[in-house]
Amino acid sequence: MQKEQLKGKEEGSTFKDKKGWEFIIKESIIRDSLSGEIATEYESVLNYLTATEFLQSLTNMEEEAKQTRELISTIKEGLFEVCNVDKRKIPTSELWRIIKRGKKNAFKSALKNKYHFHQLFLKSLLQRPLNLRRANIFTSNYDLAFEYAFDNLGIHYIDGFTGFHKRFFKPETFEYDIFYPGSTTSGKVQRIEKVVRYIKLHGSLSWINSTQRDSNNLYGIEEKTLDVIDKLDKKGEIIIYPSAVKKSYTLDLPYSELFRQFATTITQPQSVLITVGYSFYDEHFNDIIYQALSNPTFTLIIVDFAGTKNLEIQRLKDLNDPRIIILEGEFFGDFLTFADTLMPNFNEGSSAENIATTLNSLLTTK
């Protein structure tokens, strides 16, 4: 997988990719210069194997296809470990980025809580007026970083699953909302503030196929905690799909419903889509986003480190469309900056946050 990248590079040499990440050649293998981890992406390998298994199945190479499926399961197990962010330390490179910005308080907060910047982003997002539509977060990531941040902040999220001990996929729940009960005098109801719609377009580490279907589980998709999946030895069965095959897989559930939600949401009048770290290499995402640009009230804000060094983002810039805003570079094109600096904060030091801080201080065991 690294053969092309190694051409013209000497042992021990370092280089940077278009995103500015630095790599080193050690023992003829490209590794991250800070962590030393092999730089080949699991998803690229999974991508290749999935396409191979498809071709083998078409040509009646059943034995070869079976071996490839076993290898795919092994790769998924590796992805499970790599993307299980709650068990991984914050990369040194991420901590250096915080230090370079002179954010001492943010650095201390990130050391204590690896989801600090996710929580900052969510706090700002939830300050939207309640008379607006619910905020939507669409992600192509498999990890549970946002789920952990939701739990830390007490945020309810509507993700297409229902149930408590047994959580099954039910797409109709995307249309649900959460309200306080109506007053006995006025008969009015009030929406609960801390609610977002959260949709994982490429699947999740916590999704697996159920062993059986019934009236409560028509689609055969179940959500479990990562420790349960680990104990049940189901890591190789997680429901995730890589980029090369995703456009065909999105015809099937749950992907057809997830992408329908994405398309319906961003094509509504006066919608604003903010992409963070998205390279515009996904054809299906692009088709939906470009369709939304036919709406005169749609706004697209692109936050990306490489920015216009990416040919597709440059192509969007060349349109000279005032509805397309591009934030790029080491500062403006970074999620840390976006969450900590650029997202508005109208209620800094809100009463709810002050109460939470007080209770945490009182209840923390020294």
DSSP track, 75-91: HHHHHHHHH-GGGSPPP
The rounded distance, in Å, linking the Cα atoms of 69 and 106 is: 44
Q: For 335-363, what is each residue's pLDDT tens digit?
A: 988 998 888 876 655 566 667 777 877 88
- DSSP assignments along 114-181, one per residue: TTHHHHHHHHHHTTS-TTSPPPEEEE---S-HHHHHHHHHT-EEE-SEE-SSSEEE-GGGGG---EEP
Whether the pLDDT of residue 21 is over 70: the answer is no
- Average pLDDT of 116-140? 90
Higher pLDDT, 249 or 176: 176
- Average pLDDT of 50-59? 84
The pLDDT, as a whole number, for residue 187 is 65
The predicted model scores a pTM of 0.80
Question: How would you list the strands of the sheet with 167-169, edge to edge?
Answer: 161-162, 167-169, 221-223, 203-209, 238-240
Higher pLDDT, 121 or 96: 121
Of 3-12, 215-224, 242-251, least confident by mean pLDDT is 242-251
Of 31-40, 243-252, 322-331, least confident by mean pLDDT is 243-252
The rounded distance, in Å, linking the Cα atoms of 205 and 169 is: 14
The region that residue 160 occupies, defined by phi over 0 for left and psi between -120 and 50 for alpha, beta otherwise, is left
Q: Is 286 helix (H, G, I), strand (E, B) or coil?
A: helix
**Beta bridge pairs of residue 139:** 200
Higher pLDDT, 1 or 207: 207
The pLDDT, as a whole number, for residue 90 is 76
The pLDDT, as a whole number, for residue 34 is 57
**Beta bridge pairs of residue 293:** none
The rounded distance, in Å, linking the Cα atoms of 359 and 42 is: 42
